[in-house]
Homo-oligomer: A and B are copies of this chain.
Amino acid sequence: MLAEGEGHKGIAMTALSWLSTRQTERIGAVGTELSAKITIHDVARESGVSIKTVSRVLNREPNVKADTRDRVQAAVAALNYRPNISARSLAGAKAYLIGVFFDNPSPGYVTDVQLGAISRCRQEGYHLIVEPIDSTSDVEDQVAPMLATLRMDGVILTPPLSDHPVVLDALEREGVAYVRIAPGDDVERAPWVSMDDREAAYEMTNHLIGLGHRDIGFIIGHPDHGASARRHQGFVDAMRDADLPVRQDRVEQGWFSFRSGFEAAERLLGGADRPTAIFASNDDMALGVMAVANRMRLDVPAQLSIAGFDDTPGARITWPQLTTVRQPIAAMAAAAADMLMSGVQHEEGDPPPSRLLDFELVVRESTGKAPG
């Protein structure tokens, strides 16, 4: 272990007084590398119109002559002008800021959400504010101040926040629009983007059944996530439709974590009588199953097929690689950002504007024909 600061030259922490960028610019003479901030006035002067007209062009407002618009746009390009977000936000209704709230994310999920959302936001000049919420402490205390200081045009909620009543209440009270990703049952309350978890689980189960498996174990996900119940339902429906029994001792409760999958697998595979396949409600738990199988020297998939859900990066980081369901996480986030930027609004009584995106079955090496 290395003591802080040890073994390196000149690394003392030195906090010098702040010399504001602004002052530097002011002071800096002509020719300084720091270009003076150019404003809407510069563009107006350059193109010979009023600042209001420049503003119109910038905001794609109607009733501007094509000729005028062109002149302004040329000036914008020539001066390399960019409107200042703080000023726009202060003066106008839009904030050009979209929030992403998340809590205890599985690695990769949040990053995918951010990447997906940004891909849309960039085009429209929006930026992303990330706000981790710790739902084990007072959520109200975290959300309310944040909403009061920073105006956002909307918030993207990731599970399990998509269903957190305190968060939803706070958002509504502050009048901030939001879109939920993969919410639970309360589908009528507010806009959402999701995928058909039930159908996906149904198809995965069918994939297993098609491989000859008749005795399939299932690990349920975290009860706070709405998707958990839907995935379980898909499994049950597929078994029913294939006239296969759903044995209660083949269904274990998990928590979406590696550890919970590991422990569930120990119970599932502990006795002599064991299933020939296990379908876990997410990849982390499936990887837990995989670990138990490895430890027990079970050959995957020859002796045991394992299926996951989510197609997290971890699904490819094992051997054999995991058969799983690819969630369109980035696409869902992009759709949510879209809705927020176009100003979705849920009118009382109407069904909330929402979108259901496609999933994809990703068959890799962890599932194979049933033994015997």
A150 & B85 in contact (Cβ 8 Å cutoff): yes
Q: A85 to B347, alpha carbons, bound, how many Å?
A: 29
* A interface bracket (residues with beta carbon within 8 Å of B): 35 or more
Q: A58 to B345, alpha carbons, bound, how many Å?
A: 35
- A78 interface hit (Cβ, 8 Å): no
> How many copies of the polypeptide does the oligomer hold?
2
- A243 interface hit (Cβ, 8 Å): no
Q: A355 to B22, alpha carbons, bound, how many Å?
A: 27
B175 & A11 in contact (Cβ 8 Å cutoff): no
- Which of the segments A160-168, A219-227, A314-322 contacts the partner chain? A314-322
A127 & B150 in contact (Cβ 8 Å cutoff): yes
Which chain B positions have C-beta within 8 A of A342?
A: 15
- Which of the segments A44-52, A129-137, A270-278 contacts the partner chain? A129-137
- A10 interface hit (Cβ, 8 Å): yes
Which chain B positions have C-beta within 8 A of A9?
A: 351
- Which of the segments A62-70, A102-110, A206-214, A247-255 contacts the partner chain? A102-110
Q: How far is the CB of A7 from chain B (nearest CB, A)?
A: 6
Q: Per-position contact with B for A1-44: 1 when CB-CB < 8 Å, else 0?
A: 11111111111111111111110110000000111000000000
Q: A269 to B138, alpha carbons, bound, how many Å?
A: 52
Which chain B positions have C-beta within 8 A of A11?
A: 351, 354-356
- A363 interface hit (Cβ, 8 Å): no
B82 & A145 in contact (Cβ 8 Å cutoff): yes
Q: A293 to B12, alpha carbons, bound, how many Å?
A: 44
B111 & A14 in contact (Cβ 8 Å cutoff): no
- A334 interface hit (Cβ, 8 Å): no
Q: A175 to B339, alpha carbons, bound, how many Å?
A: 35
A287 & B4 in contact (Cβ 8 Å cutoff): no
23 pairs from A and B in contact (CB 8 Å cutoff): A2-B358, A4-B355, A4-B358, A8-B356, A10-B351, A11-B355, A11-B356, A14-B344, A14-B351, A16-B345, A18-B343, A21-B176, A34-B173, A82-B148, A84-B149, A85-B149, A118-B130, A127-B146, A130-B130, A287-B317, A291-B319, A292-B319, A295-B319
